[in-house]
Amino acid sequence: MVVGSAVEVLSEDQAWELLATRQLGRVATSVGDQPEIFPINFYAGDGKIVFRTAAGTKLSEIAVNNRLAFEADETDNAGGWSVIAKGRARILVSTRDIEAADELPLHSWVPTLKYDYVELTVEEISARRFTFGPEPDRYGID
Amino acid sequence: MVVGSAVEVLSEDQAWELLATRQLGRVATSVGDQPEIFPINFYAGDGKIVFRTAAGTKLSEIAVNNRLAFEADETDNAGGWSVIAKGRARILVSTRDIEAADELPLHSWVPTLKYDYVELTVEEISARRFTFGPEPDRYGID
């Protein structure tokens, strides 16, 4: 018998609801064909994902190419979900934007006195829920 | 009082040891300045990270640009760790390579009869351990 694990494609609303349950995600950047990936703590809402970053690699890459991919997930033995978002990022510079971001429940992974807020305006978001189970038989034998 | 969270840079050996404790990671690809990120189940050892993938986006991007960035992490309320690896990927094609990969404890997130193994030869790996704590004061006030 071929028994597959279940995969369910969720709605965009469900994707945002799942993001609201997590703080830890990852962003991927791309400069000169070299992908980079970083863990971040994030806040998601209103079509945007906001995170803090210390000065350095992440910020300099956003300045060169502001396209970001973002991922957050959660799994246990029974299954899990993953949300992927893509869009363009900007560093918050106005006092008004920074003060608004200061009110978000955001923490940086790297403690530092000097940090900036990055705001990703989400253009695409998708979510899938997985239920782990027996593998399908690769060779199709019942 | 300014109290920062602690960040500890771990050794490459410690990075590989941490990877051996996890199955869920993410890979980032970069094609034409568009970063992409995917959750994967992986096996790490002998300087390589192996994962399965269904035919589709991930594979086609590796064919265009085989540079990958990989991340795995684990967190709880007290802190966590993150390992980041970079290198070049190839799709396993020889019967010997595929049979060896078949012996690894690897599962795909998307159940499918048709999949390939991707092997990332790690050129750079780094690991950090974080202990969460009170935020440092941004304005340096004691």
Pull the structure tokens for residue B119. 């092997």
pLDDT higher than threshold 50 for residue B139: no
pLDDT tens digits, one per residue of A46-60: 999 999 887 666 677
pLDDT higher than threshold 80 for residue B51: yes
Measure CB to CB from residue A7 to each of B110, B133, B140 and give the nearest one.
B110
CA distances to B41, B71, B96, B103, B116 from B99, in Å? 18, 26, 5, 7, 12
Contact A133 B140 (CB under 8 A): no
User: Does B48 contact A at CB distance below 8 Å?
Assistant: no
B62 or A58: whose pLDDT is higher? B62
pLDDT higher than threshold 80 for residue B108: no
Does residue B107 belong to any structural domain of this protein?
yes
Question: Which residues of chain B make contact with A67, given a CB cutoff of 8 A?
Answer: 33-35
Pull the structure tokens for residue B127. 């690991």
Q: Is the ipTM of this complex over 0.90?
A: no
> Which chain B residue lies closest to A3 (C-alpha atoms)?
B111
pLDDT higher than threshold 90 for residue B17: yes
Does residue B63 belong to any structural domain of this protein?
yes
Read off the pLDDT of each residue in A18-39 and give the average, rounded to a whole number.
Answer: 92
Determine the structural domain holding residue B13 and report its residue range: 6-131
Mutation target to probe the A interface, by most A beta carbons within 10 A, among B73, B109, B112, B122 is B109
Pull the structure tokens for residue A25. 């995600």
Measure CB to CB from residue B5 to each of A24, A84, A111 and give the nearest one.
A111
Does residue B104 belong to any structural domain of this protein?
yes
CA angle B70, A8, B107 (to 5 degrees): 45
B72 pLDDT band, cuts 50/70/90, is: very high
pLDDT for the residue A32: 85
Give the whole-angstrom CA distance, residue A108 versus residue A131. 31
Q: Which of A83, A37, A23 is nearest to B76 (CA)?
A: A23
* Count of the separate structural domains present in chain B: 1
B62 pLDDT band, cuts 50/70/90, is: confident
Does residue A136 belong to any structural domain of this protein?
no
B21 or B115: whose pLDDT is higher? B21
Read off the pLDDT of each residue in A9-29 and give the average, rounded to a whole number.
Answer: 95
Contact B67 A33 (CB under 8 A): yes
Read off the pLDDT of each residue in B61-85 and give the average, rounded to a whole number.
Answer: 91
CA distances to B31, B75, B81, B92 from B14, in Å? 31, 16, 11, 27
Give the alpha-carbon dihedral of A58, A59, A63, A67, to 10 degrees: 50
Give the whole-angstrom CA distance, residue A19 versus residue A16. 5
User: Does B34 contact A at CB distance below 8 Å?
Assistant: yes
Does residue B48 belong to any structural domain of this protein?
yes
B131 pLDDT band, cuts 50/70/90, is: confident
pLDDT for the residue A91: 92
pLDDT for the residue A33: 86
Does residue A66 belong to any structural domain of this protein?
yes
pLDDT for the residue B2: 35
Lowest mean pLDDT: which of A65-79, B2-16, B57-71? B2-16
Q: What is the CATH number of the domain that holds B48?
A: 2.30.110.10
Contact A138 B113 (CB under 8 A): yes
Does residue A141 belong to any structural domain of this protein?
no
Does residue A126 belong to any structural domain of this protein?
yes
Mutation target to probe the B interface, by most B beta carbons within 10 A, among A5, A31, A37, A130 is A37
pLDDT for the residue B112: 62
pLDDT higher than threshold 70 for residue A68: yes
- For residue B51, the tally of other CB atoms under 10 A from its CB is 30
Pull the structure tokens for residue B70. 């990989």
pLDDT higher than threshold 70 for residue A36: yes
